[in-house]
């Protein structure tokens, strides 16, 4: 695996774009993942050939525009895994942003630069994208707060499409209050009741290493209000993972296949293999996977109603090193994509908590019902005193 360490920001892309208004984010600085348009700048997608073939964006992405109007200042484009097709955080062209918790650990991807920029204090918050865990995984590995909104809650206008029925714009911060304030700027008005029930997904613990399971049980002991629940009894994790990979892969090829064939980017070896594999997914296979996805979404509504949040891990391991074998990475993806598909299949919001201070483990995430974004962020702020971030 490529071991070159790099900055959180795309080389040559440090910016200073002034706020266009004043508001709850006045005085704050933010970075923008290099899949999201910034006016006048090329959206490079983590690949130099893709960047060279792009034109300067005609306008800011909607999320960037709203943040500037709320008083924040943009300070740069952040590194991403190539076209977002990874959860690792390594980039064959720009290197790997350094995980401040441990330089031997991968930062997680694909929003690697955005997570590292926040974790190291290079900006107050940052934008990422999350399809299958690309905000959640780096937030967990780098020990910062990360938020994936309900699908469709935040505009993806001006964002490079990947798998559109899963794609979201999410964000990172070092504290829960700022995480909520960003939500005040980007999310629609609250339309869900307050969350007052918190339950541990106990059968998720069967799919994670013991250290992660211990962290989830510890979180449950601190914040759970009701008995644990089972989520995977009717829908095994392996089935959710395979369903996600089929739907995602079909949509990736539909969104990016023609452009890839046209400009022929020089992808890193693992990314190249992934793009080649999705070309083989047929429409019939895609249709059958959609049926499973829809059935699971109905199942989750029953398990997680609007007043409830579920404690769930977003990674089966507490960290990945730069030296992981292909076999180990394959096992990681199989389980991580299944865990993260819980939110993806249902379009639900999820907040990854900052890591417990001094720990080498991984903090829990809280999954809410679709549309309960603001209520979930409010709950996170209420609970934040019980979970102190490494970087707070």
Q: Are 318 and 360 in contact (CB under 8 A)?
A: yes
Q: Is residue 391 part of a domain?
A: no
Helix (H, G, I), strand (E, B) or coil at 110: coil
Cα 359 from Cα 387, distance rounded (Å): 11
Q: What is the pLDDT of residue 93?
A: 95
The number of domains in the chain is 1
Token pair of 155 as six digits: 């505009």
Query: Could you say which of 7, 110, 126, 346 is catalytic?
Result: 110
Measured CA to CA in angstroms, residue 138 lies from 110, 305, 339 at distances of: 8, 27, 15
Q: Is residue 232 part of a domain?
A: yes
Q: Is residue 13 part of a domain?
A: yes
Query: Could you say which of 7, 33, 315, 384 is catalytic?
Result: 33
Q: Is residue 143 part of a domain?
A: yes
Q: Are 33 and 111 in contact (CB under 8 A)?
A: yes
Q: Is residue 104 part of a domain?
A: yes
Tell me, yes or no, if 272 is annotated catalytic. no
CATH of the domain at 221: 3.90.1300.10
Tell me, yes or no, if 111 is annotated catalytic. no
Q: Is residue 392 part of a domain?
A: no
Q: Tens of pLDDT along 56-105?
A: 999 999 999 999 999 999 999 999 999 999 999 999 999 999 999 999 99
Which domain, by its residues, includes 290?
5-386
The percent of the chain in helix, strand and coil, each rounded to the nearest 5, is 40, 15, 45
Q: Is residue 205 part of a domain?
A: yes
Residue 387 pLDDT > 70, yes or no? no
Torsion on CA atoms 46, 52, 57, 62, rounded to nearest 10: -10
Tell me, yes or no, if 86 is annotated catalytic. no
pLDDT band at 190 (very low <50, low <70, confident <90, very high): confident
Percent of the chain residues topping a pLDDT of 70:
95
Q: Is residue 290 part of a domain?
A: yes
DSSP 12: E
Query: Could you say which of 86, 112, 114, 134 is catalytic?
Result: 134
């Amino acid at each position: 695996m490529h071991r070159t360490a790099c900055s959180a920001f795309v080389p040559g892309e440090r910016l200073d774009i002034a706020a266009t208004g004043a508001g709850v984010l006045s005085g704050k600085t933010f970075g923008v993942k290099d899949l999201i348009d910034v006016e006048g700048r090329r959206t490079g997608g983590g690949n130099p050939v893709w960047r060279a073939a792009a034109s300067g964006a005609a306008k800011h992405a909607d999320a960037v525009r709203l943040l500037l109007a709320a008083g924040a200042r943009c300070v740069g484009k952040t590194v991403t895994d190539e076209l977002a097709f990874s959860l690792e955080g390594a980039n064959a062209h720009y290197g790997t942003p350094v995980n401040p918790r441990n330089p031997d650990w991968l930062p997680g991807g694909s929003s690697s630069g955005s997570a590292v920029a926040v974790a190291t204090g290079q900006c107050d918050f940052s934008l990422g994208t999350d399809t299958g865990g690309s905000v959640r995984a780096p937030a967990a590995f780098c020990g910062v707060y990360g938020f994936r909104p309900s699908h469709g809650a935040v505009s993806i206008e001006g964002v490079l499409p990947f798998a559109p029925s899963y794609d979201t714009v999410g964000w990172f911060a070092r504290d829960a209050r700022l995480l909520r304030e960003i939500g005040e700027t980007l999310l629609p008005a609250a339309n869900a009741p307050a969350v007052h029930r918190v339950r541990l997904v106990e059968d998720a613990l069967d799919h994670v290493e013991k250290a992660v399971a211990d962290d989830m049980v510890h979180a449950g002991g601190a914040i759970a209000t009701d008995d644990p629940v089972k989520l995977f009894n009717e829908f095994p994790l392996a089935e959710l993972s395979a369903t996600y990979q089929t739907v995602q892969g079909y949509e990736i090829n539909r969104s990016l296949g023609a452009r890839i064939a046209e400009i022929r980017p020089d992808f890193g070896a693992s990314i190249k293999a992934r793009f080649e594999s999705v070309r083989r997914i047929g429409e019939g296979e895609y249709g059958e996977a959609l049926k499973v996805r829809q059935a699971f979404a109905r199942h989750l509504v029953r398990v997680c109603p609007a007043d409830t949040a579920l404690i769930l891990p977003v990674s089966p391991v507490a960290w990945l090193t730069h030296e992981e074998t292909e076999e180990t990475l394959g096992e990681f993806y199989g389980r991580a994509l299944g865990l993260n598909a819980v939110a993806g299949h249902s379009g639900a919001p999820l907040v990854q908590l900052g890591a417990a201070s001094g720990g080498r483990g991984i903090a829990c995430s809280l999954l809410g019902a679709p549309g309960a974004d603001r209520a979930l962020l409010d709950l996170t702020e209420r609970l934040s005193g019980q979970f102190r971030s490494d970087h707070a």
